[in-house]
Chain A
């Protein structure tokens, strides 16, 4: 019953549905890349600078690589990095926030000062530094994004825990003799899941943007095709071959927009404070 009404509430927002539709298309694109564009997306297939809608659907780039193959393979990269980095950030942020909010006092103080330490460093520069230290690769990109994006999650979860901690059902659990860990993960955490899911969905969009920016600067994994890398490689030809930058740019725009729309739809459907208005 709850599941059905959740879907109904989500389906009530038109923008959320549009976002979901675009997102599903991007997912299909990513999943079908090996079928439609088998082989290496870095392979040279034709003359360079062929415009779109000619022999190749989206044209070729400065070295004669197929743009369509790049977009399709890049979709997988973007989504995968966005998702994995977000999951990692959620994991760290939720743990730290939960313990800080639940125990309060000294534990809270220590964990929150640590969180602030991370928050005071400008996040993108911090990510660049991390990738530079770890040497550019898929895993270092993920680690860098996760490390710079967990603090807001920790603050959110801490706030939820602080207010839920005082509720009578938590006191009831103490009176029953429940241990701390069980109280944190079985009683309180399920009650802040909706807030975490909403923030997490928006974080995926941010993660994709950061990944593109890193790849644009040449800090992505050199062996993996990515939208950011394509823009970076095409930027010097912006005036002569606009599609080198415009097509991956539009792909990023659409994907990020779709995820944001889905996130907002989820927020409307899950956030009880908005729903009761």
Chain B
């Protein structure tokens, strides 16, 4: 065991008075060696980011304060270091990579100048040599055409390219430690796989110690040498990756691992394969920008191109794809939140696309939607009973009956019916998503469109919501159009899957077939990029009783 590069012991960070707990981080002790990737895993609010930020003294002043502990970097206590010494260490010896590269980069400076700024602050090198070094690094992080990238502004790069540029910036002074705070969370799965491969490669080449913060056990399985699990500010379990992933000891770790959806699709569910409820035929939607009077060239983005789908009674159809693939637009076209350019949306043989907005209204109650963001999808000024009862009241149900039904539905989605008179801000993200589901069910729809209903939630809450959706669709015999970017979730929830790329459905078939024998190269690429696919979850008692989402 090599001597640790970084040693944290007894670290305690106080939260301001009046928070839900006294400490953001409590008595945390960790060690990071060189040439090692240590993954710190935890759900939102577990204190993992606060812990990482306190290493470089980046805590928001006044609100969060380190009250006890030591952070030893090569034997030097960083908590006692002067501001000048900390500045020297930041970037120079310990570098940081953030979650959102667009927010971490200065939008008004070229990538080259931002990298140059880091070098110029720390080293005394002539300009030409600094540029040379930057170009080398951009090449090392596998950015195509470094000469062009160095002159580019952040908005001219893709998300993955920006994160690569951030990594190059972090590496330029060859730091001993890299702290990466959820560096791939904002990226698509294929880009994430590339960045993870890059981080592994860099560890070997630079022998750096990497502190990798994440909430995703798939990523942990992909990259970690050692793992530390945090819950409500405390370190509950740590050990080598093999130990923690395959033989978790702490109940919280077991619950977290149990909540990770399995990659093997469950056996097919029975549903009526002949009764097509909703038929989508040749749906097209293009977004046009530019053009107009000034004669700029018009840009056309095809969000949906000749989409053909059939949703049967009781079936759950998954729309899977990366960001920008058009899956959300397609769903919104079906609900007529966005008007399609051509094609047909047939429900019981009636083409909904041809109906006027007024004629569409009675059809609306048959098609309902669950939204992605539980914080934006509920009207903050309406009590939740009003939110849930609004739909039935619009369709002629008397007020008293609608409110009674709202209370019943709250019970159905697992909330206390007495909560009906409260406002959305009094609920957690998972509870709000339950309210959103109750709102959708209030109209007794035949079809539920769920747009990434769990992607904004923590993994354990995600499991509960998926479980609830599974129960509801069985009990009410619902058909579901389930949009997700997460193939693990899709494998568990969907009976059949349509894979979308740049507005086109490239593969469409039963889930088991797609996972077992993908035909389109893009589907294969997607499946290969799933983090932690080589890892098989342990079958512990906790896994069996936790239920999670795997059914």
Contact = CB atoms under 8 A, between A and B. Distances in A.
Interface of A: 2, 167-169, 171-179, 182, 187, 190-191
Given A175-B369, A176-B394, A177-B394, A169 B378 contact: yes
Interface residues of B, number: 29
15 contacts: A2-B423, A167-B376, A168-B377, A171-B337, A171-B371, A171-B377, A172-B377, A175-B364, A175-B367, A177-B362, A177-B365, A182-B394, A187-B379, A187-B382, A191-B381
The 9 closest A-B pairs by CB, nearest first: A177-B364, A168-B377, A176-B391, A190-B381, A168-B371, A177-B361, A168-B376, A169-B379, A175-B369
B373 interface: yes
A100 B394 CA distance: 25
Q: Which of B362, B376, B395 has the most CB of A within 10 A?
A: B376
Nearest to B375: A168
Contacts of A187: 379, 382
B368 interface: yes
Binding site secondary structure of chain B:
loop
A176 B377 contact: no
B337 A176 contact: no
A169 B443 contact: no
Interface in B80-122: none
B376 A175 contact: no
A175 B335 contact: yes
A173 B45 CA distance: 31
Interface of B: 332, 335, 337, 360-362, 364-365, 367-369, 371-373, 376-382, 390-391, 394-395, 423, 436, 439, 443
Contacts of A176: 364-365, 368, 390-391, 394, 439, 443
Nearest to B360: A177
Contacts of B395: 177
Contacts of B378: 169, 172
A195 B443 CA distance: 34
Contacts of B372: 168
Binding site secondary structure of chain A:
helix
Nearest to B335: A175
Contact of A177 (B337, B373, B391): B391
A105 B365 CA distance: 28
A100 B395 CA distance: 28
Nearest to B362: A177
Contacts of A167: 376-377
Nearest to B364: A177
Contacts of B365: 176-177
Contacts of B335: 175
A170 B391 CA distance: 13
B361 A171 contact: no
B450 to A, nearest CB: 12
Contacts of B367: 175
B364 A169 contact: no
A107 to B, nearest CB: 15
A116 to B, nearest CB: 19
A158 to B, nearest CB: 19
A176 to B, nearest CB: 4
B158 to A, nearest CB: 24
Contacts of B332: 171
Nearest to A176: B391
A176 B364 CA distance: 6
A179 B367 CA distance: 17
A5 B111 CA distance: 47
A171 B335 CA distance: 10
A175 B394 CA distance: 11
A196 to B, nearest CB: 13
Contacts of B443: 176
Contacts of A191: 379-381
A169 B391 contact: no
A174 B371 CA distance: 13
A139 to B, nearest CB: 35
Contacts of A179: 361
Contacts of B394: 176-178, 182
Contacts of A169: 376-380
